[in-house]
Structure 1
Amino acid sequence: MTAAATSPAAVPTTVSPRHALLEGLIATATAMAAEELRALTTGIVAALLDGTAQADGALQARLRAGNLLRERQFAFLHLASAALERELRGAIAQLRPAPVASPLDLALVPYEAMDQQVTLDSVARPFDSEHADALAALGARLAVMLDRPVLRARQNPFRPEVFIGALQQAWVACQGDETAVPLLLPLLRPGRCYDFGAILAALNLALERAGVALPGRPKAAAHDASAGRRQQEAVLADGLQRLFARAPAPAEAAAGGADAGPLLAWLAAQPRGAGGTRLHGLKAQAPAGTVSHTHATTIDLLDAVFDTVAADGDIAADIRDLIQLAQLPVLKAALRDQGFFFEADHPARRLLDLLSRMGWERAQVPAAGPHDPLLAAMRHSVATVTADGAADGGANETAFAQAVTALEASLRADEAATEAALAAPVAAALRQERQAAAAQAARAAVAQRLAEAEGAGNAAVAAFLRTRWTDVLTVAHTLEERKPGAVRNAMQAMDELLWSVAPKAAADERRRLIARLPALLAVLNRWLDVIRWQDAERLRFFAELAECHAALVRAPLDLAPARQVALAVEATRLAAERRQATAVAAPPVAAPLADPAVQAVDALVRGAWLEFAGTAGSAPRRVKLAWISPLRTLYIFSNGAREEAFSLAHDVLARHLREGSATVLAAEPLVTRALGRAIGALAGNDADGGVRAA
């Protein structure tokens, strides 16, 4: 039992949707962490008390800490839950706009705090690497929700470091012994900490359901494919229901109703041939009275499914033969549970869909040999259901579920191996995407300052910010992970530069300008050295800047109060006119038209196959989508054999689809496709109330 984190008794009567969503994310994260906290605490106690893994010098300290944690377990659970909620709220509060501080202010950080931060970073790093994609997607969604151009990794309030820091706080409060403080963090590692994969997946899902789409992805596009599938499933279910309901009641009663027991018993008594039992002719062979209309329809539908497999030349021949061996186990599963026809995730149906899809992919890779691990996994899955059927007269749902689980695990292992093989191009793509996101954030920050700042009227400074300082901010964003505070420093320098060229009506302002100029110029020059801007244009800019500053310093002495007010009003009017002129000059942003090509790219998932037209008379090329970047700006394709074929940007891929030089190969599940074809044929044959002959 874990103690819930305390929360204020008074709840605001009205909250904004954004605030409510953030509260929901905090509740989700704390609840999921609380569910794991007891098991995590037990694991920490066991690690502390494990004498075999300890050096002699630390043995007594660890034993004392482990025994104390075991005694104070419930207090630790309460402290950890409360600390996590407090840390999450604090991390989210840091995302709010802060009051403008004095530019270029520096503060000394205590050595103990720096050491603690370095330790937390090193402990959290393996978790950050393991869940990099989920963290990037969550950060992108949070940035969209908070109307920010970008949210850096260290600003993500749900990063593993926050959870680990809360655990350390609870540990220190629970132990009360200085010698025990450094004992916890070295114990935390993947496998002995929170399940960050599940937590991040739940947070991403909550944001997606709330309509927070990834940048550049229309909200509706993410749901188009699923909506189409739901509509298709509804049409299929309606056709199946009408097909199963066509039998006259007297005929059904004469056949023993829908009880499948006699038919299943007869099937269990049949000898199993080397090639597996075939469904063709099964109705004619069954004893009289054992096959009702429902049973006959079930047999006919499955017969059509397996006929579709046999006739599908796109599925590898060895996999087509392998699937045929599962006819009898699948029939028995469908006779026991008609959910096979109505539920896409029914274990037996899921197994057929997986086998057919993997067989199709196997046919696309000429290098796939008989020792392919996925081929062994497919053979094992079929052996699992056929062996279970031989043991109890028919494979049960558990056997199919086990086969599906094992097959999906093999697919995940293959995906992991593919991702490892593509580590170099993936790393390059991530760097490219981060660079593009940094440049976009830099341009947005400069544009915002130029639209608001009083000093933006200086043409030389405005041009400098749009060009060189945009490059500086881009570099600062890329350095932020390794050097926290780089972006803040560059932004403060930009604000200070704009302030320095704004009118200075009072003597105090001019004195402050003189005092702050050396630090400003030093920071500007350091950043310009970073981007290696060393040509004569740099000298010209600083010469113009010096003239501007000199003119401001040489301004007349203090003006009369009335004159100062008039100048302030005039400056405000000019700033408003400048903002209005900028808005008028900018072309109106029209709502983007629905582009089927863009929507098709947005709907792509890993594992999808595309066909690209050949060039210079060459044959078309089929490739597999092996990786999608977190912001969905880059796509890496492979040849299906864990080798990179090429990579494309989002807009380039959309252009290929729009021009017809690329096509997304249909991935409709085999069972759904076969049932859709069979319903029409069986309904026509059954129009007079009869059942199709064997």
Structure 2
Amino acid sequence: MAFTSSGQTSSMSANAATAQSRRSEILRDLLPVALNLAGAQHDAFSARLADALMQQSETSTDSREANLSFNVSNLLKNNSYAFQHLAAAFLKENLQRELGMLERGSYPAAAKTDGALSLVSYEEMDNKLQIGAGSRPFEQQHADAYHALNIRLANLLQRDELSLSQNPFRPEVFLSAINLAWRNFDPDPESHHLVMPLLRPDVFLQLSPLLQALNDALIADGILPDLQESYRIKKTDGHSDATRKDDSAETALLQKLKRMFAAPEAPDDIVAAAATSAAADVFEQRGDSGLRLANMLRADYPGPAPQASGATRQLYGFLADLQQRIADQGFGGDASGTGAVPPHSSRLAEIKGQVPRHALTQFDENTIDLLTKVFDTVFRDTNIPSEIKDLIGLLQIPILKAALIDKEFFFEEAHPARRLIELLSKSSVAWDPTKGYDDPLYQTMKRNVGRVQQEFDREISLFSIVVSDLERFLAEEEEQAAAGVLRTPITEALQREKLAQAHTAAKSEVAQRIGSGEVVPFVETFLEAKWVSVLSLAYSVRDEKPQALQHALQTMDELIWSVKPKISQEQRKELITKLPALLTMVNKWLNVIKWEDADRLRFFSELAECHASIVRAPLELSPQRQLEIAVEAAQKATERRLEKRAQTQQQTVVPDDEFVATVAGLERGAWLEFTPAGDAPKKVKIAWVSPLRSLFIFTTKARQEAFSMSAQQLEQSFRDGHAQRMVLDGLVGRALSEAMEDAAG
């Protein structure tokens, strides 16, 4: 028995050790997930931070701060790879430390005494406070994702709960790493206070996809899969099924792409190696203070820098030569230039045929095939004008080089090069053909495409710069339109919606009071026909005159009270006392809404008779008669209540259909094509949506015409086939999905 017990104990210990090893392995596997997703964003993040610093320089009222912001912005733009490698190194160090503490369950004790606090410098305390304050917007924005991740990590480690302060992937860890990277990137302490306030959610690394991936990784390992939906943020509950389908399709696409690019023949990371070496050389020039940073950067590539294979050099040389020849042709009045092959066609299939076979790896061939599909999709899209397709066609070689350099192009919707294709495609419909090549939108597109065509070599950040320039132009166009042609329609629409909202609230107030069936018929009719208008007016001016609404509601309640039976002398005296002021107030409100016809005299005549009958009714009533009167009143109230309910049920209620959901999903910036009966199709943009989504304002391409439409009218236009949405988003993703389906077939 003793031997058996010992054996069971040994077996249980072995199982526990295996389980612990498995938990540690799952936890360690989260590190590369976070680092890879953060690393893929460093390029775009650096560009956004540089833009924010430049904008700060332009808006600062302090000349010294403006000059400093300008200098560090240029420093970051010119040495972005150095900053990115520092950021990656410090983030890796932070995450490794936090994961280790999480696994061991040991966390640094908080300082509890003044003596302990005195050991911390003022600068360090201020730095911690800034990071803490900067973390809060991220914590609020991603509260659901962090909640789900906390639960899963606690479940993995067999703990009751895990607080956000113990989560290794909390915003503070990322902000701290970037802050350390900057302080080492630019040793000038004067610049340190500039960057931290700029690390806002719109500038910083996007944590949403990173947290999504961490949760998905734990789900894949069987850690509480049923929480999968708890941290996903949906626009409306009605679109949850569509969202799940989209998520499922996107996941399947990513899995197929990962398998496609998992070949071991992927080319050496020449760009990263060269950038690392150059950054290390910059830091070494600082002397002893820069040696540690240089060594940290070179740690990614111990030994000699990797050399490109002969095939890779031959492919890059061919592409560089072809890009230069196209750039040398320049732009004419239009985008086509003077080349024998117009840009409005796919060059990539031709390139694949011209490059010697031994110069292409499987990675290269897959990249060219997928990009061929992407550009073919652009050229087939009838929503994109041919003149804009010509511009996009000029990007084929630079985009190919960018995708060969960074395969995240296929995985990340936010990849700068991918965003450029999407932005050009989506905004192309706004081009005004009547202005031709002189349209400012076309000129902005042409300038940015030309810059990429002529300047792009290996700096992916160039795409971020041109995307920012194009987005800035589009935003300014929107502001000008809002200040011009849209100002009056928006003002009128807001007023109409405010009045409609006031009318709805007024009808609700009246319905609540007459729903009991206790209000006498002629007063009920009066309230529905006229007092709704009074309350609508009072609600519409509630912000300016809140007492007006209170008086209108009080007057209505007193009117209803006045026509109810008064069976005691005290009640009748109260009625006689209040009646003059009540009638005066009712008349004042009716004067405001300008009710002057004979029906007004008839109403007050009936009201006077009602009041007279109440006052003249016998006072001395036996208990039996009082009971009869009460039962009679209750019966009448019940009959009226049932009558109104029957009227409501007879009203035809149109159930929601797919077109209601379609309109509910429309957002500002979407393009629609209207085809009224007998008229030519017209492409219009949703320029404004009212706060309650009851009104939509549209503009034409030239932005010289604006018209509004209610949500119900828009739903009916979709229902009648006179309106349809132009699908302009996600062009690259659709092309990749089609390519994967074709490959599977």
**Same fold per superposition (TM over 0.5):** yes
Q: Does 1:233 align with 2:250?
A: yes
**1:399 matches 2:466:** no
Measured in 2, the distance between the counterparts of 1:395 and 1:267 equals 18
Distance 1:600 1:526, change over 3 A: same
Instruction: For 2:267 and 2:605, locate their aligned partners in 1 and report how far apart those are by CA, in whole Å.
Output: 100
Scaled by the length of structure 1, the TM-score of the pair is 0.59
1:648 is matched with which residue: 696, 709, 718? 709
Q: Does 1:487 align with 2:549?
A: yes
1:444 aligns with 2:511: no
> What do residues 468-512 of structure 1 show as CA deviations (whole Å, max 9, x unaligned)?
111211222222233222222111111000000011111111111
Instruction: Report if aligned partners of 1:329, 1:394 keep a CA contact under 8 Å in 2.
Output: no
Q: Structure 1 residue 239: deviation in Å?
A: 4.0
Q: What is the aligned counterpart of 1:662 among 710, 723, 726?
A: 723
Is the alpha carbon distance of 1:408 and 1:449 closer, same or farther for their aligned partners in structure 2, counting shifts above 3 Å?
A: same
From 494, 505, 517, the counterpart of 2:579: 517
State yes or no: 1:627 paired with 2:685.
no
CA 1:424–1:380 in structure 2 vs 1: closer, same or farther (change >3 Å)?
same
Q: Which residue of 2 aligns with 1:474?
A: 536
What whole-Å deviation, never above 9, does each CA across 1:537-592 have from its counterpart, x for those lacking one?
A: 11111111111111112233365678667755664565455434433443179996
Cα distance change on mapping 1:503 and 1:585 into 2, 3 Å: same
Q: How does 1:117-128 map to 2 (within 5 A)?
A: none
The 5 Å alignment of 1:430-579 reads 430-452=494-516, 454=518, 456=519, 458-557=520-619, 559=621, 571=633, 574-576=636-638, 578-579=640-641
Q: How many residues align?
A: 466
1:411 is the counterpart of 2:474: yes
Q: Could you tell me how far 1:517 is from its partner in structure 2?
A: 0.8
Q: Give the alignment partner of residue 444 of structure 2, picking from 377, 389, 411.
A: 377
- The answer on whether the counterparts of 2:426 and 2:729 sit within 8 Å (CA) in structure 1 is no
User: Residue in 2 aligned with 1:297?
Assistant: 366
- 2:577 partner SS: helix
Bigger relative contact order, structure 1 or 2 (CA pairs below 8 A, ≥6 apart): 1
Q: Residue 475 of structure 1 aligns to a residue in which SS?
A: helix
Distance 1:513 1:432 in 2: 39
Q: How does 1:363-374 map to 2 (within 5 A)?
A: 365-374=432-441
1:607 match: secondary structure: coil
* Rounded Cα–Cα distance in structure 2 between residues aligned with 1:452 and 1:552: 21
Query: What does 1:2-21 align with in structure 2 at a 5 Å threshold?
Result: none
Aligned match of 2:340: none
Structure 1 residue 267: Cα displacement: 5.5
Instruction: Give yes or no for the alignment of 1:595 onto 2:646.
Output: no
**Deviation per residue, 1:332-372 (Å, 9 max, x gap):** 3322332221222222111101112222432xx32233343
| Per-residue deviation, 1:310 | 4.2
Structure 2 match to 1:306 = 375
SS of residue matched to 2:515: helix
Deviations 1:374-402 (A, max 9, x none): 2233234334544552xxx3132x33223
Amino acid at match of 1:325: L
> 1:670 and 1:282 mapped to 2: Cα distance?
23
SS at match of 2:683: strand
SS in 1 for 2:514: helix
Distance 1:580 1:614 in 2: 44
Structure 1 residues 463 and 381: CA distance shift in structure 2, 3 A: same
Structure 1 residue 516: Cα displacement = 0.7
SS in structure 2 of the partner of residue 631 of structure 1: coil
Question: Contact 2:510–2:532 (CA<8 Å) still a contact in 1?
Answer: yes
Equivalent positions of 1:340-359 (< 5 A) are: 340-359=409-428
**Which residue identity does 2:413 align to in structure 1?**
A
Equivalent position SS for 2:673: strand
Secondary structure at the aligned position of 2:687 is classed as strand
| CA-CA distance at 1:624 after TM superposition | 2.3
Instruction: Tell me the distance in 1 between the aligned counterparts of 2:493 and 2:233.
Output: 24
Matches within 5 A, 1:223-372: 223=240, 226-227=243-244, 229-244=246-261, 252=264, 262=309, 266=314, 269=317, 270-271=320-321, 272-275=323-326, 278-283=347-352, 291-312=360-381, 314-362=383-431, 365-372=432-439
CA distance in 2, matches of 1:308, 1:449: 61
| Mapping of residues 19-30 of structure 1, within 5 Å | none
The 1:223–1:608 alpha-carbon spacing in structure 2 relative to 1, beyond 3 Å, is farther
Instruction: Rate the CA distance shift 1:212–1:529 in 2: closer, same or farther, 3 A.
Output: farther
Report deviation, 1:453: 7.3
Q: Deviation per CA, 1:64-89: give whole Å up to 9, x if none.
A: xxxxxxxxxx9xx9xxx9xxxxxxxx
Residue correspondence of structure 1 range 197-212 to structure 2 within 5 A:
none
Note the alpha carbon deviations across 1:167-224, whole angstroms, 9 max, x for none. xxxxxxxxxxxxxxxxxxxxxxxxxxxx9x99xxxxxxxxxx999999xxxx544556
Structure 1 letter corresponding to 2:534: V
Distance 2:459 2:270 in 1: 18
Q: For the Cα contact (< 8 Å) 2:315–2:360, is it kept in 1?
A: no
Corresponding letter in the other structure for 2:414: D
Q: Which amino acid aligns with 2:396?
A: Q
Q: What RMSD, in angstroms, separates the aligned Cα atoms of the two structures?
A: 3.9
Greater shift in the superposed pair: 285-294 or 532-541: 285-294
* Correspondence 1:133-212 to 2 at 5 A: none
Return the alpha-carbon distance in structure 1 between the equivalents of residues 233 and 600 of structure 2.
43
1:602-613 to 2 correspondence within 5 Å? 602-613=664-675
> C-alpha deviations, 1:253-291, integer Å up to 9, x for none?
5x7689885476556543342425953454566577663
Return the alpha-carbon distance in structure 2 between the equivalents of residues 386 and 292 of structure 1.
25
Q: For residues 579 and 232 of structure 2, what CA distance do their matches in structure 1 show?
A: 47
TM-score, normalised to structure 2, is: 0.56
Q: What is the distance in 2 between the residues matched to 1:379 and 1:605?
A: 28
- Aligned partners of 2:502 and 2:487: how far apart in 1? 22
Equivalent-residue separation in structure 2 for 1:441 and 1:234 (angstroms): 45
Partner residue, 1:146:
none
Q: 263-272 or 371-380: which moved more?
A: 263-272
SS at match of 1:532: coil
Amino acid at match of 1:439: H
